[in-house]
Structure formats: C-alpha cells, structure tokens
Amino acid sequence: MTTLTAHSSTTRHSFGSAKILSNVPTAELIEHALARGEGRLAANGALACDTGDRTGRSPNDKFLEDSAAIHGDIDWGKVNQPMSPEHFDALERLVLSTLSRREQLYRFDGYAGADPAFRLKVSVFTEEAWHSLFAKTLFINAESADLKNWRQDWTIINAGSLRLEDPAKYGAKGPVCIAQSLEKRTVLIVGTRYAGEMKKSIFYAMNFDLPAMKVFPMHCSCNVDRKDPSNVALFFGLSGTGKTTLSADPNRDLVGDDEHGWSDKGVFNMEGGCYAKCIKLSREGEPEIWDAIRFGSVLENTTIDPVTRIPDYNSAARTENTRVTYPVSFIRNARIPSVAGHPKNVIFLTADAFGVLPPVSKLTPEQAMYYFLNGYTSKLAGTEAGVTEPQPNFSACFGGPFMPRPPMRYAEMLRDRIAKHGSDVWLLNTGWTGGPYGVGSRFKLAYTRAFVNAILGGSLRTASFRKDPIFGLAIPSQVAGVPADVLDPRATWADKTAYDAKARDLAARFRANDAKFAVTPEVRAAGPNVS
C-alpha cells in the first residue's frame, strides 16, 4: 500500500513578504470580512457572502497530479482527471507567486477526523477572511497547545481571485482549476470563490488515506439515539438528497452531516461543522438547522433583504444551491466529540428524477452492494456548475466525485462491515412521485421522516413486504403516518402505461451502468429486471 510523507508548509510553501494572520478568532474574521467588503451581516447574525460566478463545485475543472507513487491506486477517468507533475508544479509556482504579492493572507490550522487515531492535520491558506471562517467552521479546531509545533498533513492554498489566462500552460481547461496532489499533500484552488471546494478536497484526501488505515470512508451523515447509544444510523447520499435534513433529528444526537469514517471501533465524523442546503428552509420543517444559523455561521449566495437584512430562503435568485455553514456544536443535540458505535441501520438516499422508485425499501446484502456501487440519484440544480435542473445520474458509492480509488474497494469495505455488525440496509427515495421531474412532485418531508422513524424505531424491520416486479425491491405494505398508495410508486401515476415505460427506462440504465463493475453473479442478479 502506498505510504506518503507529510510536508510542512514551512518547507514546501513560501508566501514571500505577505503577512499571514494565523488562526484568527471568529469575531475578528467576521470583522475583517465586513471591513473588506466580502459579505454583510444578516439579521440572524450570520455572515452572508457571494461566491461569484461559481455557485457550486466545478468537477470538470478538478485535476489530480498523476505521479508514480499513486498512479496504480487511482480510478482514472472522468472523475479523476490526470495532471502531469510538471503542470502541477507550474500551477503551484503561479499560485505562490500571486499570493506572495498580497498584503496579507489568512491561515487556519485544524483537523479532519474526530477520532484522534485517524485524524489528519490540515492547514488552509486563503486570500479572504470569510474563506478562513468557512474553514474554521467546517474543520475541527485544534487546541492552542497543539498549534505550537504544528506540522500539517495536508495544505490547501486558495487563490480564488486568480483566473488562468493561459490554461493549457498548466494542463487546465479554463480559467478555473482545482488541482490536488496526493503525493505532495497539497490542494490548489484557482479561479473560484465557492468555498465547498476546500471542504471536498479534504474529503477526497481522506477517501484516499483512510482505506490504507483499514477505515471505510463514507459520504454520509450519522446520528444516534439519545437514550440508546447502540442505535446508530448512517444516511448515504449526494448533495440535496437529505443527508443533513434527515440526520438533524430532535430525538437523536447528531454525529455529523456529510463525511464519516467507519473503523473497527465505530463511526467518527471527519468534520467539525455542517454544510447545509438552505433553499426553502423553514423553522417548521427544519428547526435544528434554522436555529443553527447565527453569529459564527456563513450563508452562501442567499438573498438578503437590503433593508431588514432578513434572509429569503425561498429565493433562488443566485442559485438553487444556497448554503449555510456552521459548527456542529451549533446544533443543540450535537454529539461532541463526534464519534459513535457501529451502525444498526444504513440508509441509501436517492432523489429519483424518474419518479419510479419506491419511497422506501429494504435491501438484501446483495442489493446493498449493487445499489451502493451504482449510487443512483439525481444531480440537483446548482450543486455543480452547469446543472440547472435535476438530471438522472449514477455516482459510484453515493460519492463518485470524491472517490480516488476504484469503487469496488469501497463497496467491499461496506459489504464486510454490514456483514460483521449485522446492519440493516434501506433505500429511501426523497425524489419524485406521481410522475417524473416536471410532472410529479417531490415526496413530502413529513412522509420521509415517517419512513426514517419507522426504520430507526424498529417497526419496519418486522413489517410485511411485497416485491417490486421490475426493481426487485422489498416494499412495506404499510408505514405509520403514510397513506398506503404512497408506498406503491405505480399507484401514484395517473398514466400507468407511462409509469411502466419510465420504470423500464431506468432499469435499463441501471443495467448499462452496472456493466462497468466486476461483481459476483449474486450481486449482478440483485439488480432490476429488464426482460
């Protein structure tokens, strides 16, 4: 297994005469951001910022340095796009030269990984104060004593204001480029102010590093029953499928909302904060998140009334991908430190834009591996550059954009852990019902919460099920608080013939996608019926 050496910024990176302000307290970062015109205070105390022309991640502009040390461990392709070491070094020189001419920069030092046995030290250098505040809310803050002899494992250098005038010179496609080196342990962010690139670059790093430590990295949220610490739940899913919303439960303690590791001891959060979508956010629907938006949190691209400064969460004037970042401790029932035992339930979240998958179904071990590998969902508007409406999408392991290693490596880690710990696995559709996107409507949040409550409360485990004829999924005959016809996706469509055609269409797409995986006949047979 590849072993990489940590590098200190003092040995690899020089910022010339630029003054570096290190680990600035929250109140001072906000004061700096306001004075520099980087944002404004909303009425609830949050710092409201605009990310410019990029209001989501830029996956087409993300590159990985292709070095001999890591080449054989990477699933090269559309997600993991190679960049030569020469191009990476040239880009790094440009970034350092540009930032060395700035009057001052900001530095944040913190951890990724709540379990000290598996955490990585991260240093983030930024031009803007609000980006440093973002890092301070998303990563785990280090104690003062730990900072005295700090030697980071990973370095992020954010030059968001720099635009590449000659992209080909650096192996890039355009003015924006996010370049990552697993060998040099460095991330370079150029041309985009979207702060989520910093967060996801370290998740990408953990997805490479943790398997070498025999830890399963996961794109999921996690919570645990407040009275029963053995009742741990995981919620896998891509952005917009409900990970943050469903894990924020008043009756359960939140471990984390997006990124976790599963070791031989249990589950731990990789982050120290949450990054929630806040489009159509309401106090009634998501009170925990609503109350977490206060001084010390950061709103991204949210419309703010110019007079009252009250956020308009229903507005998508800038983007559907409006976001808020806050420390996990801002959630009243946060579990600190963010660790828990082995999960009793594992829930795969999918936002089905076809509108044909059942709202909830129980998976066999073979189906669990099949649906995990395929990672079907819909890309939702605004989460990536160029996505303006939901698009059916297969994202391996429910986190394909962040997985450097081959998908089978992660799927086998999931298979082994659910078998060892007896975890039940479920598929929960938070997408469309009664028709596809544009015709049907999204499942009511109240129904989705009822499904989750039935899963976590144990009643669904012993329910009676029927088998879907196309997808082979076990659908419960009844769930408390949900009308029976909602459970049958075909019954919600006015045009049953149209449903059958759309279901067969999606089933065929599954089969076309699963052909890329070398799985056992049993796992292959767990997929949908296309005959």
Q: Catalytic: 244?
A: yes
**Separation of alpha carbons 219 and 259, rounded Å:** 5
Return the SS3 of 340.
strand
**Separation of alpha carbons 292 and 162, rounded Å:** 33
Structure tokens at 389: 């409406």
- Cα four-point dihedral sign 437, 439, 440, 445: positive
**Separation of alpha carbons 237 and 397, rounded Å:** 9
**Separation of alpha carbons 245 and 258, rounded Å:** 11
Catalytically annotated residue among 9, 132, 244, 263 = 244
CB 403 within 8 A of CB 426: no
Helices and strands counted in the chain (H then E): 14, 31
Q: Catalytic: 55?
A: no
Q: Catalytic: 263?
A: no
Catalytically annotated residue among 54, 200, 260, 442 = 200
CB 419 within 8 A of CB 362: no
Catalytically annotated residue among 7, 13, 54, 57 = 57
Catalytically annotated residue among 109, 153, 257, 258 = 258
Q: Are strands 216-225 and 252-256 parallel, antiparallel or unpaired?
A: antiparallel
CB 455 within 8 A of CB 464: no
Q: Which residue has the tokens 């590449």?
A: 164
Count of beta carbons in the 10 Å neighbourhood of residue 71: 12
Catalytically annotated residue among 185, 219, 379, 509 = 219
**Separation of alpha carbons 125 and 157, rounded Å:** 5
Q: Catalytic: 200?
A: yes
Catalytically annotated residue among 199, 252, 323, 362 = 323
**Angle of helix 407-421 versus helix 365-374 axis, rounded to 10:** 150
Catalytically annotated residue among 155, 239, 247, 378 = 239
CB 343 within 8 A of CB 234: yes
Catalytically annotated residue among 184, 243, 362, 417 = 243
Q: Catalytic: 219?
A: yes
Pick the closest to residue 189 from 228, 221, 160 (CA basis): 160
Q: Catalytic: 280?
A: no
Q: Enumerate the active-site residues.
A: 57, 200, 219, 239, 243-244, 258, 323
